[in-house]
A and B are shown apart, each in its own frame.
Chain A
Amino acid sequence: MRRADTKNEPAVYRRVVLKNASPYHYMKVCLVLEDESTRLSAVDLKQFIVTGLKSLYGEVGAALTFDLLKYDEDSLTALLRVYSRGLVKLWSSLTLLGSYQNQTCAFRVLQVSPFLLALTGNSRELQLD
């Protein structure tokens, strides 16, 4: 917004709306497996997600670029970065992924945000005392 100057002009307001200003969206996802002792490496996880994209959207969908920024092997929690344009595709393929190596699985999407900083905390787990 432009600041109203000190002159005697009436203040001029300009509304600035940024639509999809951020090029990326960040997703925090957690993989839940039927057999909780199964371990996945980061490479396995990315390969698994690409398989899901490919089964839902074909080769064109598998060409969608996304990055696995961070991955915690113990809790199977990952941070994904995807172009905002590809968010719906990636998200829906994660939703429809139902089995990993013949065992049922589910991706729980914990948080989605255009800002990486927003994923540092989760307001839903906030305990207000």
Chain B
Amino acid sequence: MSVFMDLNLSFTAERSRLKTLIETAAHLGFSTVAINYVFEPATKKKQEIPTPTPIKELIDELPVVQGRYRPIRVLNRLTVVMSDSSHFRPNAAEYRCFDLLSVQPTTEKLFHAACMIYDVDIICISVTEKLPFFFKRAPVNGAIDRGVVFEVSYSAAIRDSTRRRYTIANAISLMESCKGKNVILSSAAEKPLELRGPYDITNLGLLFGLSDRDAKEAVSSTCRSVVLHAETRKSASGIVYTMKTCSESSSQQEAPPADSGEAPAAKRAKLHLTD
């Protein structure tokens, strides 16, 4: 069985709070967490896409995961809240700084595009409002074929009871379409007390209409496949990976191709498998 992951911890500028959040996650038994930066483009003015703070600057010493005696792994993740198709720029260089890329579509058209076309890892399901559209089987199946996963976050359900209703209702409606496949459960926690242990979340998954097995996979192996999917995004079809080496230390290698950009240019995988 693969290790537990929580791929959504809300980023806060307060370093001490983020530190306790990561420590709590490690104590609860999560081996990998992702710090989530939310980017919500407004229609009028142009906004900056946030840049991730390097993990080393955030936290000096990574806490040890309970029961595994190795330090926790921390990733960076960007969530783009989309209300218009121009909000997601497929080739933006800013997206490359993040390990994981997710979108939260707010209309049915965008949901369809996110499932079928966009090169993302995670599609967030809104849990704070009544579902504005119905999950159709075709785009959901397309997303499952492409390895994109759907995310349901549970901390809104802990905060108040109205959102709890929406969370459960939206989650169940999603499970009807995807039959429990390619779903991850994550916290979206801002405070350490909003985090729950992996087995608690597994149990909560049963409430969302997942089976025993799918609920456990939603915090472990599906999360792992997301992280691997994110790695293939940075490489050419998931096979070739380019990285800059220090020019002196690797003199025995052949001359690297002319590359002036700071990030290695990766060949993009063919996306239109389902068309």
Q: Which residues of A are at the interface with B, using a C-beta cutoff of 8 A? A: 32, 34, 55-56, 88, 91-92, 94-98, 104-106, 108-109, 112, 124
Give A104 to B215 CA distance when docked, in angstroms: 26
B158-A96 in contact (CB<8A): yes
Interface bits B152-172 vs A (CB < 8 Å: 1, else 0): 000001110100100000000
Distance (Å) between the CB of B81 and the closest chain A CB? 24
Is B254 located at the chain interface by the 8 A CB criterion? no
Using Cβ atoms and an 8 Å threshold, which residues of chain B touch A92?
203-204, 206-207
Distance (Å) between the CB of B149 and the closest chain A CB? 22
Distance (Å) between the CB of B188 and the closest chain A CB? 13
- Selected A-B contacts with CB under 8 Å, 7 pairs: A32-B193, A91-B200, A95-B201, A96-B158, A96-B204, A106-B195, A106-B196
A34-B206 in contact (CB<8A): no
Give A121 to B265 CA distance when docked, in angstroms: 53
Give A15 to B158 CA distance when docked, in angstroms: 44
A34 and B193 in contact, given A92-B204, A95-B204, A98-B159 (Cβ under 8 angstroms) = yes
Task: Name the one of B67, B159, B197, B203 contacting A88, with C-beta atoms under 8 angstroms.
Answer: B203
Using Cβ atoms and an 8 Å threshold, which residues of chain A touch B141?
none
Give A97 to B164 CA distance when docked, in angstroms: 11
* Cβ-closest chain B residue relative to A108: B197
Using Cβ atoms and an 8 Å threshold, which residues of chain B touch A32?
193
Chain B contact-residue range equals 20 to 34
Distance (Å) between the CB of A118 and the closest chain B CB? 15
Interface bits B200-212 vs A (CB < 8 Å: 1, else 0): 1101101100000
B200-A109 in contact (CB<8A): yes
Interface bits B173-196 vs A (CB < 8 Å: 1, else 0): 000000000000000000101111
Question: Which of A32, A108, A112, A124 has the most chain B CB atoms closer than 10 A to its own CB?
Answer: A108
* Cβ-closest chain A residue relative to B27: A108
Distance (Å) between the CB of B32 and the closest chain A CB? 18
* Cβ-closest chain A residue relative to B67: A124
Give A94 to B200 CA distance when docked, in angstroms: 9
Is B199 located at the chain interface by the 8 A CB criterion? yes
Given contacts A96-B157, A109-B199, A124-B66, 6 further A-B contacts (CB under 8 A): A34-B193, A88-B206, A92-B207, A97-B158, A105-B193, A106-B195
Using Cβ atoms and an 8 Å threshold, which residues of chain B touch A94?
200
Distance (Å) between the CB of A90 and the closest chain B CB? 10
Using Cβ atoms and an 8 Å threshold, which residues of chain A touch B195?
106
Interface bits B47-78 vs A (CB < 8 Å: 1, else 0): 00000000000000000001100000000000
| Interface pairs A-B: 6 shortest CB-CB | A98-B158, A106-B193, A95-B200, A104-B193, A124-B67, A91-B203
Give A104 to B193 CA distance when docked, in angstroms: 7
Interface of chain B residues 4 through 56 with chain A (CB within 8 A): 28
Give A129 to B112 CA distance when docked, in angstroms: 55
Give A97 to B194 CA distance when docked, in angstroms: 10
Distance (Å) between the CB of A12 and the closest chain B CB? 33
Distance (Å) between the CB of B274 and the closest chain A CB? 36
Give A98 to B158 CA distance when docked, in angstroms: 5
Distance (Å) between the CB of B89 and the closest chain A CB? 37
Using Cβ atoms and an 8 Å threshold, which residues of chain A touch B159?
98
* Cβ-closest chain A residue relative to B201: A95
Using Cβ atoms and an 8 Å threshold, which residues of chain B touch A88?
203, 206-207
Task: Name the one of A55, A56, A104, A109 contacting B194, with C-beta atoms under 8 angstroms.
Answer: A104
Distance (Å) between the CB of B205 and the closest chain A CB? 9
* Cβ-closest chain B residue relative to A103: B193
Give A105 to B164 CA distance when docked, in angstroms: 16
